[in-house]
Amino acid sequence: MKGKAIKNIITTVGLPVLFGALIFTLWQTKVLHALFKTDEIILPLPTRIGSIIGDNFTNMLPQIASTLIVALGGLVLGSILGYFIGVAGAVFKKWGMGGL
């Protein structure tokens, strides 16, 4: 059972991380640029993107805050609405019969 758990961890965590590292390395070494026949204006290097974000982070904070407020508000409202629809489906059995 222990070997199966380790294999499960490797396949669910290790392989995606390895794939991400491979894509990042190919991107940073400009192999993706050659593969897709593009330049650094269209597909900037990850280090360049990081430096741009780092340089402009204080200017980005108000936009990040407004995006988070809207996104989290929608998440909360959708969760509450979904809960009440679920309760209505459980209370009124005829309404809940057409579900999954």
Taking only the tens place, the pLDDT of each residue in 4-31 is 888 888 899 999 999 999 999 999 999 9
Taking only the tens place, the pLDDT of each residue in 46-87 is 999 999 999 999 999 999 999 999 999 999 999 999 999 889
Residue 100 has pLDDT above 70, yes or no: no
Q: Rounded distance, CA 58 to CA 4, Å? A: 47
For the chain, counts of helices (H) and of strands (E): 6, 0
Residue 97 has pLDDT above 80, yes or no: no
Question: Would you state the structure tokens that stand for residue 42, as one six-digit string?
Answer: 């269209």
CB within 8 Å of 85: residues ≥ 6 apart: none
Cα 63 to Cα 59, 73, 95, distances in angstroms? 8, 15, 41
* Pairwise pLDDT comparison (2 vs 51), residue with the higher score: 51
pLDDT of residue 47: 96
- What is the model's pTM? 0.66
CA atoms within 13 A on the CB side of 48: 10
